[in-house]
Amino acid sequence: PLADPDPGYTGYAELVGVIDEVVAAHPDIAARSVIGRSHEGRDLLAVKISDNVDVDEDQPEVLFVHAQHAREHLTVEMAVHLMRLLTDGYGGDPRITDLVDDREIWILPNVNPDGSEYDMAGSTWRNWRKNRQPNEGSSSPGTDLNRNWAYEWGCCGGSSGNPSSITYRGPAPESAPEVRVVADFVRGRVVGGEQQITTAIDFHTYSELILWPFGHTYDDVTNGMTREEYDTHAALGEHMAEANGYTPQQSSDLYVTDGSINDWLWGDQRIVNFTYEMYPRSAAGGGFYPPSSVIERETARNEEAVLRLLDYADCPYRIIGEEA
Ligand code: 0X9
Ligand code: ZN
């Protein structure tokens, strides 16, 4: 049986409090905005971290997405850790200072708050993955947000058309309000015809993996990805994995998925991007519910890997020796 909800994990109200505290303590480099609302009406928040935070400067932008899957609570802790690392480190740590000065960093600390709250609200964890949107003609609620993105949606046997499945793709791409809001946010970062976000990580648990697109096909080179583009993802994935000890691989090597954020961010928006599957490596380490005593260690573990991505965000292709 699953253990009781562990009060060491950050619920939605507490998360909003942490965000407000970070922004209040560092108003010159941290700002929050409401980018939309969840199905149940919770604010979907974005935290921007950069110097001159209230100005849209012409700097490479980096996106971090957390908690598409409700029960993967360690990913919310990862967002909290990154907010604190990048703000507390500013002015003292020269590497962090330079990256905050020269990048615009977007952290979406919980894109599925309805699901996370539901997962935490009982006397035991509920093992919930999807959002909490009702499904017409079914008593099973919820869409798997990471099967609802509008690139090759439902193409390839990597999602389910059955509302009771944990990988239900929804009735149409972007039918989940949470996906629509985040997709609109990302599309909104196209300025002067150019997508400002160059690189991204979508945080999940568990298995200790760094995954890159595509998930809908086993092929590495496709109509949507050249050899150079594939090699860039692989090299950057391996460079980050060297720092955190995760296993780097193409996402379809895990299993085929369609409608994932990874495939959309690359296939539709040309953002070099990765899925991190955080701690633990296997179910024996606690699966989706490791004790909160591991939070500090397992979020700090990704600091160097994240800083490497921020570093390469000016031109990810330079990791394979290409200019553009
Ligand atoms: O199935 C998923 O959505 C992810 N695994 S999880 O256990 N966190 O649910 C893996 C997604 C990897 N595939 C792609 N990103 N395409
Ligand atoms: Zn997940």
For residues 5 and 62, give the distance between their C-alpha atoms in angstroms, rounded to a whole number. Answer: 32
What one-character DSSP code corresponds to residue 53?
A: T
Ligand 1 centroid from CA 26, angstroms: 34
Q: Are 282 and 179 in contact (CB under 8 A)?
A: no
Å from CA of 322 to ligand 2 middle = 32
Q: Ligand 1 within 6 A of 233 CB? A: no
Q: Is there an atom of ligand 1 within 6 Å of 116 CB?
A: no
Rounded to a whole number, what is the distance in angstroms from the first to the last CA of the chain?
Answer: 51
pLDDT given at position 2: 72
pLDDT at 324: 59
Q: CB of 262 closer than 6 A to ligand 1?
A: yes
Distance in Å, CA 317 to ligand 2 centroid: 27
Q: DSSP code of 134?
A: -
The C-alpha atoms of residue 232 and residue 242 are separated, in whole angstroms, by: 15
d(CA 23, CA 214): 36
Q: Which ligand is nearest to the CA of 277?
A: 1
Atom of ligand 1 nearest to the CA of 261: 15
Question: Tell me, what's the pLDDT at 3?
Answer: 76
Q: What is the pLDDT of residue 79?
A: 99
Of 152, 229, 277, 298, which residue is the catalytic one? Answer: 277
For the chain, list residues with pLDDT below 70.
1, 323-324
Residue 248 forms beta bridges with which residues? 210
Catalytic (active site) residue 208: no
Torsion angle of C-alpha atoms 185, 188, 190, 195, degrees rounded to 10? 0
**Which atom of ligand 1 is the closest one to the Cα of 146?**
3
Stated pTM of the model: 0.98
Assign 222 to helix, strand or coil: strand
Give the closest ligand to the alpha carbon of residue 115.
2
For 40-60, what is each residue's pLDDT tens digit? 999 999 999 999 999 999 999
Give the ipTM: 0.97
The reply to whether ligand 1 has any atom less than 6 angstroms from the CB of 250 is: no
